Structure 1
Amino acid sequence: MKFLKFLLTFIYPKTCMGCNTLLNYNAKVELCDECSKDFEPYVGNRCVTCDRPTDNTGECSICKSEKLYFERGYCVYPYSGAVRNTILNFKFRNMALYYTYLGSKMVDYYFDYIMESYDYITAVPIHKKKLKIRGYNQAELLAEYISEHIDIPYISILKRTVNTKPQNALNKKEREANIKNAFSLIDNIDIKNKSILIVDDIFTTGTTVNECCKVLKKAGAFKVDFFSLSAKKETK
């Protein structure tokens, strides 16, 4: 059996999710020692509303200045280093299987820091054209994994009606214009008086998540929180 595993590493080499370094064939986690450090719990200040890592105390500048449609946000890691690289591989380089490790980290965070009860878990949707190219919605994979492990039902609630430009290349004002009216409720979905946790992989300015939450609140949800694998850190 050991020889077979050893042989398989030549056919299907095990590489680090964060830096693509070759790993020992019996490595339990697909991360090298250096990249593993970025997946340790973040120690530092967080925004009291959206949970993004910050060098400041209290609310971050975005939560202070924007009209928010979510009550509370939760973010596991700063979007940097090996976490950033792993998410990019997961999202754009056909590494869908990474969802089990990343999802497990979100489940751990839920039990350690959230422990709220919700009627439903859902995901930020991607447009059908992007879904056809990519083959999967990374946020949906994470949301379904979390749902299975915290015993809260997952349902698809939103659809993306506009195939928007990538948000990462836009400034804040352009992001808001780009994402405005890009989401709608799926037909025959009733979420009146329901509490919803919406899942995404990256929280930057919060424009996308906030727009999704706006649609959910307008559809009658009484409480909407978001849960992101990572968030862009706010620095001084």
Structure 2
Amino acid sequence: MGVSPGTELELLVDKPASGGRMIARHAGEVVLLAGGIPGERVLARVTRAGRRLAFAETIAVLAPSDDRREPTGDPACGGCFYAHIAYTRQIQLKAQIIEDAFIRIGKIPLSDRVAVECASDRGYRMKARFHVRGGRAGFYREGTHELCDPRSTAQLLVDSIDAVDLVISTLATRGIAVTSVELTENIAADQRAVHVDTAPSDDLAVALSGAVRASGLTGATARASDGAW
């Protein structure tokens, strides 16, 4: 589309796209932008470019929206695409995405506007996958395999992350290295379960039972890299 990675573009942000980015256009072609809000004019740097589509990140906001806020934590950390947007506007954007899926993609007319129920904008996630490197659990930064701190994003309750950290550290004391953890909990957050991927170990079942007791989990499953459960 006539641009290459590193190219800087001045863009007018149009509308939200599914997946967290915003749609803007350059020379009639679509640019999927991170860090913008519809209605803003921004300076963006292209990170990837194809024949008819480019990906870009906001590097300066030239005309900010009234709904822009200072993000907490790392805005590139997994799940934080909307961290720079006021929560009430986030809800409106999510409703737009759902409406677009029905009307434009599904060709299904809607008689009423879509209503998205508000939740707390902190500790709202009930399911998450953590990647583990060197005993440290985190999310991937967008487009990389670099770990970022899940606590700084406030997507999960502190107790939830503490439970994951306890599982990892408890297994480590038995010489078992964890590579990833999937966490699931109920709405009340008083029941939590994990699935753990680990290095091979003959002691996995016993060690996992100890990790469940130490972390206060409701239950856990595990799979070693050699296929053992």
TM-score normalised to the size of structure 2? Answer: 0.26
Larger relative helix fraction: 1
Structure exhibiting the larger radius of gyration computed from Cα positions: 2
TM-score normalised to the size of structure 1? Answer: 0.25
